[in-house]
Chains A and B, each alone.
Chain A
Amino acid sequence: MPVDGVGATITPMEGTPSNAVISTRALTKHYGSVTALTDLTLDVTEGEIYGFLGPNGAGKSTMIRTLLGFLHATSGAASVLGMDVALDSVEIRRLTGYLPGGIALYDSLTGEQVLDYLVDLQGREPRRRAELCDRLELSGSVLRRRVRDYSRGMRQKIGVVQALQHDPELAILDEPTEGLDPLMQHAFYRILDDLRSEGRTVFFSSHVLSEVERLCDRVAIIRAGRLMAIHDVADLLARRRRRVMLRWRGTPDMSALPGLEDVQVDGNRVIGMLSGEVAGFVRAIASPSLEDLTIEPASLEEAFLEYYAPGAEEQQE
């Protein structure tokens, strides 16, 4: 069995893109008779923010822990930053920043001592610490308080800083906004935006669809340990149907509503789902008798609910 730097065999990674930062091939993990991951194959390429979505217990954390060498895959292969996770996990962790889900910190230390301790063990300079603390509103006086006195949100902020303070090539974040208030969530989103613009790669698990929409270039959807789909978020949003509501003066002209589906007419009101281009639709309905028009933004929610719905696994197979 491949172990933490102790004798392992390398499985060739076929079809891995040259700019892949994370690659898995048929990655499978069993705990006794329980299957946590089944044949998971995906590639995360350099410079992208990659969302890893799934309901609780889907296998998101198992995947992350396998990438970092905490768990040993039952079969399949995985590489991070071009290194085999079974052979080179120490080197991988040198170049990676990791935020565990529901992070635990040393209660008896101050926030600053925790960050110093962890960055010392990382063996790299805390180049980003000051900037991160500033953006997450972790002042000097806050950092000098003991962790035991911190709220959940404060601990999460320290967790974010410890994961990113050494400016890692790859950030692996397990439900990073858990416990952060909306203001801090937005501060965190901006930090990730900056990382992306600097060419850093971020792999994060979440079940918050709005933040995936806001941040991710691509998403993988996992359920019961199986990969259900991988999508480009922009494509997915472009293809999603939007809810449209129109109000007419007089009787609606149903012939002038191209692309509108599931139409419901209620007096002078029309509600339907629009797929395809918005501009063409607006041009087609432009009329003096149109009193009001509402087009709701496309959301990933509908798409994800399809995958999360009971029986979705069978449909995928």
Chain B
Amino acid sequence: MSGRLLAQTLRWQRVRLIAVVLAGIGWGLLIPVIYGAFSDVVRDLVDSGAFPAELMNFGSGSLFTLPGAITLGLQHPLAIAMIGIFAVGASATAVAGERASGTLEVLLARPISRLTLYASILAALLITVLVVLVAILGGMIGGAALQGITDEMDLGQIPLVVLNGFGLWAAFTTFGLAASVSFDRPGPAIGLSLAYLLANYFLEILGSLWTDAAWTQDYSLFHHFNPGSILTGDLQAGDLVIVLVAALVPIIYAIVIFPRRDLAAPA
């Protein structure tokens, strides 16, 4: 890995990262407030029979408990978009973008192997994803503290939430980067990575809202990150293994493919 390359890749992302981190903290702070304000209302609605309970779920989250609200906050499209900016957008364009613009050959004219380049970019992207995830979670804990409801969850489990969440988003990041090293233009890499993310998301949300299709959730990576369960002391080791394997497979693919690819002159 090249420290200079890693640092420069982080530098390219810094403005975007600062903006997203601030947005993430804001979003995180809001979740316990929403939970505090609407939890009882939602519960009353369900108890009155006006709405079926499953329609009050979103993914694996709900507004019935604070851990459920945290899950909801992390699976909400806003949170997906914030982390996805780096896990999908930045990763899918990282190599293919440089390839299309012609700067990749300027970089690779240095004594840097393609594996070093790949490892450095991957490390930088994983750092950005982790920072955004921690910012959102930090905001949620801060919001809970402000509301005085931190006792509704086991704060000791937070590192496991971070680990499981990082595993999930690392899977999308490594997929995006694997797509990026496979194409000469960023368009197809972005398309493929976005489709992968949306397919996983669709399966999770579909299964959570429609009980007959609940089986689809098992095929979604999002279903294997349930902060609500972890915060109540119920981490499924299998979930961790699945997301880590999902993160590892694209890495192996990229390590095999990237050094063997012909890098012809950019069009």
Contacts and interface: CB of A to CB of B under 8 A. Distances in A.
A188 interface: no
A279 interface: no
B112 A103 contact: no
Contacts of A103: 102, 106
Contact of A93 (B5, B102, B111, B263): B111
B211 interface: no
Contact of A105 (B106, B111, B265): B106
A105 B101 CA distance: 8
A36 B8 CA distance: 35
Nearest to B266: A104
27 contacts: A3-B259, A3-B260, A4-B113, A4-B115, A6-B115, A6-B259, A6-B260, A31-B262, A62-B264, A65-B263, A69-B108, A70-B263, A71-B264, A72-B260, A90-B113, A93-B112, A96-B109, A100-B105, A100-B109, A104-B105, A105-B106, A108-B12, A118-B106, A121-B2, A121-B107, A121-B112, A123-B110
Given A5-B113, A117-B4, A122-B111, A71 B262 contact: yes
Contacts of B113: 4-5, 89-90
Query: What are the 3 A-B residue pairs with the smallest beta carbon separation, nearest first?
Result: A104-B102, A94-B111, A121-B110
Interface in A61-104: 61-62, 65, 68-72, 89-91, 93-94, 96, 98, 100-104
A106 B103 contact: yes
Contacts of B103: 104-106
A162 B106 contact: yes
Contacts of A100: 102, 105-106, 109, 265
A70 B102 contact: no
Given A72-B262, A118-B106, 10 more contacts: A1-B260, A4-B113, A5-B113, A6-B260, A70-B264, A89-B113, A90-B112, A104-B103, A123-B110, A163-B109
Interface string B227-267: 00000000000000000000000000000000110111110
Interface of B: 2, 4-5, 8, 12, 101-103, 105-115, 259-260, 262-266
A117 B8 contact: yes
A102 B107 contact: no
Contact of B264 (A31, A68, A118): A31
Contacts of A70: 105, 108, 262-264
Contacts of A108: 12
Contact of A71 (B102, B112, B263): B263
A91 B111 contact: yes
Contacts of B263: 65, 70-71
A120 interface: yes
Nearest to B108: A70
Dominant secondary structure at the A interface: mixed
A54 B115 CA distance: 34
Interface residues of A, number: 37
A89 B263 CA distance: 14
A62 B265 CA distance: 8
Interface string A290-312: 00000000000000000000000
B94 to A, nearest CB: 14
A65 B259 contact: no
Contacts of B2: 121
Given A100-B105, A102-B102, A104-B102, A122 B262 contact: no
Nearest to A123: B111
B102 A65 contact: no
Contact of A65 (B4, B111, B260, B265): B265
A72 B110 CA distance: 18
B258 to A, nearest CB: 8
A292 B154 CA distance: 104
A123 B260 CA distance: 25
B259 A93 contact: no
Nearest to B262: A71
B1 to A, nearest CB: 13
A247 to B, nearest CB: 51
B230 to A, nearest CB: 39
Contacts of A104: 101-103, 105-106, 266
A106 B102 CA distance: 10
Contacts of B112: 90, 93, 121
Given A101-B265, A121-B5, A5 B259 contact: yes
A25 to B, nearest CB: 20
B106 A4 contact: no
Contacts of A123: 110-111
B111 A61 contact: no
Contacts of A5: 113, 115, 259
A121 B4 contact: yes
A69 B261 CA distance: 10
Given A117-B8, A121-B4, A68 B109 contact: yes
